[in-house]
Amino acid sequence: MERIKGLSNFHTHCGLDDGVGTMEEYVLSALSKGFGALGFSCHAPGSLEDQWHMDKKDFPYYLEEIDRLRTLYRDRLEIYVGLELDYLEDTEELVGSEYRDQLDYTIASVHLMRHTKSGTYLSIDGPVVEFEALLQDNFRGDIQKFATHYFTLQERMIAQHNFDLLGHCDLMKKLNTDNKYFDPNSTWYRKAASHLLKVASKHNVRIEVNTGGISRGATTEPYPSMDMLSECSELGIPVTLSSDAHQSSHIDFYFSQADDQLVQVGYRNLDVLQHGMWQTVSIV
Ligand SMILES: [Zn+2]
Ligand SMILES: [Zn+2]
């Protein structure tokens, strides 16, 4: 088995969505850090037209530019094109799935819930006014119902769709600094999180260990938490390591610590895209 240590990242944004900088800046950063592979995963264009999803008109350029960079740096770096797709709870669509044929891989994420009062989709990972509106108006302030619903939505997405990576599966904790809203050790929370992991395992889902919450100063640990990661290991769930980079200097953010944490909970391998296929590589 080939050995690799933190030298790839398949969750990368850029200036075409809510990241900053050109794609070439991320490629150059990857080269400077000795990466073997880099994948781009902008927020998919589609029915969601807002500040953080890629504009539909930019998608052809996204493909062309990645193709240009892939050719330009082909001797030094494998470059892959993906998208981060959003699950919508009322239509049950995975936004961006229609681009699947033009992509090397997809990340499926739940960021949004339908706000019953306004009829619009609001984010669970900020701004905080959106989180609060969902909590108060959809769940009458009941954080247990809110968080449990978040995990349930991911279970529905897993049952209904195919994708390569499940994105930041406990994103619900992003605004929970100092356990402001809930205690992640409470029985109900652990049960809901554990149920998701069992469903993921049953459907052979690959989960990402995502350090993006730390680089943004929102969390002190990756998604998923060490408790969840430990259970992932017990269930034999394959994982990737990604940084959810929104700036080029973050493409390997917290990777060495996350590698150590993976080993600590029992992982010996990571999944990476290599030579056009998902492959298992050793991290020890
Ligand atoms: Zn995301
Ligand atoms: Zn992302």
Q: What is the pLDDT of residues 31-75, one digit of tens each?
A: 999 999 999 999 999 877 788 999 999 999 999 999 999 999 999
Ligand 2 center from residue 11 Cα (angstroms):
6
- Predicted confidence band of residue 6 (pLDDT cuts 50, 70, 90): very low
What is the per-residue pLDDT for 47? Answer: 77
Strand partners, 281: 270
Nearest Cα residue to 39 out of 85, 103, 109, 110: 103
What is the per-residue pLDDT for 51? Answer: 84
Ligand located closest to 125 CA: 1
Rounded to an integer, the average pLDDT of 194-214 is 97
Ligand 1 center from residue 110 Cα (angstroms):
7
Ligand 1 center from residue 51 Cα (angstroms):
14
Contact 209, 197 (CB under 8 A): no
What is the per-residue pLDDT for 3? Answer: 45
Superfamily of structural domain 8-282 = Metal-dependent hydrolases (3.20.20.140)
Rounded to an integer, the average pLDDT of 174-192 is 97
Rounded to an integer, the average pLDDT of 92-103 is 96
What is the per-residue pLDDT for 261? Answer: 96
Ligand 1 center from residue 276 Cα (angstroms):
23
Ligand 2 center from residue 242 Cα (angstroms):
10
Which amino acid, residue 90?
Answer: D
Ligand 1 center from residue 4 Cα (angstroms):
25
User: For the purposes of burial, counting CB atoms within 10 Å of the CB of 276, is it exposed (0-12), middle (13-18) or buried (19 or more)?
Assistant: exposed
